């Protein structure tokens, strides 16, 4: 007999097997309360495992993040984004031949249907690029209806590589529409990240080649953002997929979830916060405001990490690399001072609030000349690899059920309709 949890309640009792630190929530139904079978109340699903997953491992206490068992720091040092995408989706690192085929497949699918560019360009030029990206991704389902055949392995693979290939193109076109520049089409001469930068920033040159130090820094950021187990947007992707939805519909919803300032929108919020603070001497006043509940220190705190976010450490290094090319941004000084004060202040240490991935990434994006509205887009592009892996894992999981949580009803009970004249 393994570890079990025994609960008694009046005449009812249950003995639930504890497996991998959890019990089956449905076991609780054996206890009947005056309001019905026992369930748990868990806003934000903070203590509820909704899936079994073998993709990403996080130990928030120890500050560990691994993709398929490989520490993210090693991947950031040695790997490329497309290799990491392969790892997440297939489960193992590719051989040289497998990687060559994979890169070729993804790059082959970078072109986007002209009508999809019209979807983006029909929106207002000053619309947030995440709104444009969300529409572009969701519209992909209409161009590739075979994606609805989620039980066909060939269609699944084809649409995963399509989405990975097209995501940077949609993101770049969303940006260029905002600034009124004509679209740049993918180039076979550039790798995934270089090509993305070219589609964003190429002007009159025949071939735009970004500084390799800058494209490597963006590649590292892409690797660090590729997956993060059951975060808000991934949970949304899996919930939408649980209704047997295609990858585009599911990931379009994921883009929407990521847009939120408490999730992917945080790095944009960090930059705004640093600008608002404006100078070093105003840092103590801002920190005092945070402690009195007037504001949040954006880029600090994490639902899972109660220690330094391992991605923030790698990014801190990348900040130095990027600034060695572009020159130092004065906002960096404010960020460093904020971090110093927060890490030695009881308010933050007692709540175990440490810098998260977003605290420094915005500074890198700004140094690469991205406007703040593009920051979340730069998160969505690489996170697509994780969403795709998680979408696929869900589709293949015999235990996947349509997501349908319970509620605790607190409203009125039966009332008879009252005619409008009598209210």
Question: β-strands 12-17, 4-9: how paired?
Answer: antiparallel
Closest separation between CB of residue 246 and ligand ACO, Å?
25
- Which tokens belong to 115? 């009508």
Closest separation between CB of residue 49 and ligand ACO, Å?
17
Q: Based on the shown chain and the rule CB under 6 A, indicate whether residue 297 belongs to the binding site for ligand ACO.
A: yes
Which residue's CB is nearer to ligand ACO, number 297 or number 374? 297
Among 106, 290, 315, 319, binds ligand ACO (CB under 6 A): 290
The residue ranges of DSSP E strands in 4-154, in sequence order, are 4-9, 12-17, 32-33, 36-37, 56-59, 64-67, 70-71
In whole angstroms, what is the distance from residue 171 CA to residue 193 CA? 12
Q: Quick check: helix, strand or coil at residue 17?
A: strand
Q: Which of 90, 113, 263, 321 is catalytic?
A: 263
Q: Are 50 and 230 in contact (CB under 8 A)?
A: yes
What are the phi and psi torsion angles at 367 (to 5°)? -65, -30
Tally of CB atoms within 10 A around 367: 20
Among 147, 164, 223, 298, binds ligand ACO (CB under 6 A): 298
Among 138, 214, 247, 266, binds ligand ACO (CB under 6 A): 266
Q: Based on the shown chain and the rule CB under 6 A, indicate whether residue 255 belongs to the binding site for ligand ACO.
A: no
**Positions 50 through 109 that interact with ligand ACO (CB under 6 A):** none
In whole angstroms, what is the distance from residue 8 CA to residue 211 CA? 66
Burial 152-179 (b: 16+ CB within 10 A, else e): eeebbebbbbbbbbbbbbbbbbbbbbbe
Q: Which stretch binds ligand ACO (CB under 6 A): 123-131, 137-145, 190-198, 296-304?
A: 296-304
Q: Based on the shown chain and the rule CB under 6 A, indicate whether residue 272 belongs to the binding site for ligand ACO.
A: no
Q: Which stretch binds ligand ACO (CB under 6 A): 33-41, 184-192, 245-253, 290-298?
A: 290-298
Is 263 annotated in the active site?
A: yes
Q: Based on the shown chain and the rule CB under 6 A, indicate whether residue 380 belongs to the binding site for ligand ACO.
A: no
Burial 381-409 (b: 16+ CB within 10 A, else e): bbbbbbbbbbbbbbbeeeebeebeeeeee
Q: Which stretch binds ligand ACO (CB under 6 A): 8-16, 117-125, 318-326, 355-363?
A: 355-363
Which residue's CB is nearer to ligand ACO, number 34 or number 43? 43
Which residue's CB is nearer to ligand ACO, number 168 or number 301? 301
Among 56, 356, 361, 384, binds ligand ACO (CB under 6 A): 356
Give residue 173's Cα distance to chain centre.
Answer: 20
- Which tokens belong to 421? 């004249």
Q: Is 275 left (phi over 0), alpha (psi -120 to 50) or beta?
A: alpha
Among 186, 210, 252, 299, binds ligand ACO (CB under 6 A): 299
Alpha carbons within 13 angstroms on the beta-carbon side of residue 229 total 21
Q: Based on the shown chain and the rule CB under 6 A, indicate whether residue 262 belongs to the binding site for ligand ACO.
A: yes
Which residue's CB is nearer to ligand ACO, number 14 or number 304? 304
Closest separation between CB of residue 297 and ligand ACO, Å?
4
Among 108, 157, 340, 351, binds ligand ACO (CB under 6 A): 351
Is 302 annotated in the active site?
A: yes
Q: Which stretch binds ligand ACO (CB under 6 A): 52-60, 180-188, 352-360, 391-399?
A: 352-360
Give the contact letters, 302-331, x = binds to ligand ACO (CB under 6 A), - = no: xx----------------------------
Task: Give DSSP secondary structure letters for 49-65.
Answer: -----SSEEEETTTTEE
Q: Quick check: helix, strand or coil at residue 355?
A: strand
Is 109 annotated in the active site?
A: no
Q: Which stretch binds ligand ACO (CB under 6 A): 47-55, 165-173, 258-266, 275-283?
A: 258-266
Q: Which residue numbers are catalytic?
A: 263, 302, 358
Q: Which residues bind ligand ACO (CB under 6 A)?
A: 262-263, 266, 290, 296-303, 351, 353, 356-358
């Amino acid at each position: 007999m393994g570890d079990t949890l025994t609960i008694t309640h009046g005449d009812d009792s249950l003995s639930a097997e504890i497996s991998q630190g959890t019990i089956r929530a449905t076991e609780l139904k054996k206890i009947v309360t005056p309001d019905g079978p026992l369930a748990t109340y868990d806003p934000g699903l903070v203590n509820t495992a909704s899936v079994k997953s073998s993709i990403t491992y996080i130990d928030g206490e120890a500050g560990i993040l691994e993709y398929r068992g490989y520490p993210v720091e090693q991947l950031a040092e040695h790997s490329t984004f497309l290799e990491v995408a392969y790892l997440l989706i297939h489960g193992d690192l590719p051989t040289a031949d497998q990687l060559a085929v994979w890169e070729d497949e993804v790059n082959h699918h970078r072109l986007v249907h002209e009508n999809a560019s019209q979807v983006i360009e029909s929106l207002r030029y000053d619309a947030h690029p995440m709104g444009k990206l969300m529409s572009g991704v969701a519209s992909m389902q209409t161009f590739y209806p075979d994606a609805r055949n989620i039980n066909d392995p060939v269609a699944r693979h084809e649409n995963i590589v399509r989405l990975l290939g097209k995501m940077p193109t949609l993101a770049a076109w969303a940006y260029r529409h905002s600034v009124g520049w004509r679209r740049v089409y993918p180039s076979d001469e550039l790798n995934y990240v270089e090509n993305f930068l070219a589609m964003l920033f190429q002007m009159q040159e025949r071939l735009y080649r970004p500084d390799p130090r800058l494209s490597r820094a963006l590649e590292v950021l892409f690797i660090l953002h590729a997956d993060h187990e059951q975060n808000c947007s991934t949970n949304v992707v899996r919930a939408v997929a649980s209704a047997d939805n295609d990858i585009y519909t599911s990931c379009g919803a994921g883009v929407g979830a990521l847009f939120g300032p408490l999730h992917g929108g945080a790095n944009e919020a960090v930059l705004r916060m640093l600008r608002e603070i404006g100078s070093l001497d105003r840092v103590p006043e801002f920190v005092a405001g945070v402690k009195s509940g007037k504001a949040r220190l954006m880029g600090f705190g994490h639902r899972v990490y109660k220690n330094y976010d391992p991605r923030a450490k790698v990014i801190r290094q990348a900040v130095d690399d990027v600034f060695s090319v572009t020159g130092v941004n004065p906002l960096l000084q404010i960020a460093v001072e904020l971090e110093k004060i927060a890490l030695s202040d009881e308010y933050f240490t007692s709540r175990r609030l440490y810098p998260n991935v977003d605290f420094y990434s915005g500074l890198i994006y700004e140094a690469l000349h991205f406007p703040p509205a593009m920051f979340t887009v730069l998160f969505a592009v690489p996170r697509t690899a994780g969403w795709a892996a998680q979408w696929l894992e869900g589709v293949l999981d015999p235990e996947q059920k349509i997501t349908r949580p319970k509620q605790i009803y607190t409203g009125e009970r039966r009332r008879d309709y009252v005619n409008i004249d009598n209210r």
